[in-house]
Structures are given as structure tokens and as C-alpha cells.
Amino acid sequence: MTRTTAEKVIQHLLEASATLNETVRVMQEEAEPAFIDYRRRTGQIMGAIYLDLIKPIAKDFPDLDPANQEQQPTS
């Protein structure tokens, strides 16, 4: 995979995760059992996006790993 492709794929995966996170916010309006179940399932999907899709790409391009980017100091 080229770096350009890796950057695009990771960006789309991060956008998908952000969208999933927003759906959890929407579900907060539902009854607690439905919300808790939805939040758990969504968390599993978001975890799979990171572990199964992003991390393998980040092995070749460690600087694209969001976990590494969060640790870098900002100016």
C-alpha cells in the first residue's frame, strides 16, 4: 500500500468512527437498556476499526496511527 492510499484509508476510517460516535450521542435519548446495548455494540465496532483496520496499516506507517499522533506535543 502506498502512503497516499494509507492516509486516505485511515482518514475515512477515522471519519467512520466519528460518525459512529455521533450515533451513540443520538441514542442517549433512548431508554437506558437500549442505549447501553447500542453503546456497547458500537464500541466493539469502533475497536475493530482501530485494531483490525487501522493498526495493520500503521505498522507500515507508524506516524499515521492516531494513538501516536495524540502523544505528540502540540505547538
Q: pLDDT (tens digit, 9 = 90+) per residue, 31-56? A: 899 999 999 999 999 999 999 999 99
In-domain check, residue 8: yes
DSSP annotation of 72: S
Q: Does 54 map to a domain? A: yes
How many domains, the chain? 1
d(Cα 24, Cα 34) in Å, to the nearest integer?
11
Residue 44 domain-assigned (yes or no) = yes
Q: Is 50 part of a structural domain of the chain?
A: yes
Residue 68: what pLDDT? 85
- This prediction has a pTM of 0.83
Q: Is residue 68 part of a domain?
A: no
Indicate whether 73 belongs to any domain: no
- H-state helical runs in 1-75: 3-27, 32-48, 55-60, 66-71
Q: Which domain holds residue 41?
A: 3-61
